[in-house]
Amino acid sequence: MTGIPEESQSLIKRILATAAIDKNGIYRLPSERVLAEKMGVQRSIIRNALSSLEFFGFIERNQGSGTFLRMPRLSFANLYFDIASQLGYISLDTIEDAREMFEKMLAEEAATHASDEEIAELERLSDLMVAVEGFEEKVEADYQFHLVLAGMTHNPVIMLFYQSIASFIADLLRKRRSIMKGLNESETRINSNHKDIVKAIAARDPDAARAAMEAHFAHWERENMLMNLLMQ
């Protein structure tokens, strides 16, 4: 909650701490009146705090049944990255650098933790990248491939982070595919890179999976440099 006044952060944390599990196993907050009495503040202050929590998806308010805690919508994290990008704190290039480091680790983890069903889905998506003809369809298959890869870690923190930068990843993949568009040999190599990643993960070989992912990014860097030279 960086950027929120300290007193407001404290109030929000105190409000969330009052949640108790109800008979249905759901965390429920007390009423506005009870919260105001507990916190020693006016109900309008509690109402504003609850509105903020609801806006970002931390609570769900149902008239007649109460206010409940819930996992926040990903739009909360998406908004953070979108604003950080607009303000110039991050860029597609910095996200691409972070993603490269991140996905090398993902490939290793996937080789250890992925289920047979997940590997089959990854293989289906790598085949789909070749089979579909539409540009956006290829981008979508590529995006889903990397999303499934992140899910193979079975780590909710990794999934939350990856989905938080989803729009940026889609833009990066679109940029890559756009550069390679019409360069059949380059696109074939990129598609082959994806198959090499799947093969290594299916073999349960973390080192080979990381190497395949490194080759995937190295090929992209070469193509990107070449295109930059051609455009000069």
State residue 202's pLDDT score: 97
DSSP character at residue 71: P
**Digitized pLDDT (tens) for each residue of the chain, 232 residues in all:** 444 567 778 888 899 999 999 888 899 999 999 999 999 999 999 999 999 888 878 899 988 788 999 877 777 777 888 888 889 998 888 888 888 998 999 999 999 999 999 999 999 999 998 888 888 898 899 999 999 999 999 998 888 888 888 878 888 888 777 766 655 555 566 667 899 999 999 999 999 999 999 998 888 777 667 666 655 5
Fold (CATH) for 6-69: Arc Repressor Mutant, subunit A (1.10.10)
E strands, the chain, are 20-21, 27-29, 59-62, 66-69
What pLDDT is stored for residue 183 in this prediction?
55
Bridge partner list, 66: 62
In this structure, what DSSP letter does residue 41 have? S
Identical fold between 6-69 and 76-231: no
At the second CATH level, the architecture of 76-231 is: Up-down Bundle (1.20)
Q: Report the distance separating Cα 196 and Cα 208, nearest Å.
A: 9
Q: How much is the pLDDT for 188?
A: 61
Gap between the Cα atoms of 179 and 140, Å rounded: 16
Q: How far apart are CA 67 and CA 51, in angstroms?
A: 11
Give 74's DSSP letter: T
β-strand partners of 69 = 59
- Kindly list the domain boundaries of the chain, sorted by start residue: 6-69, 76-231
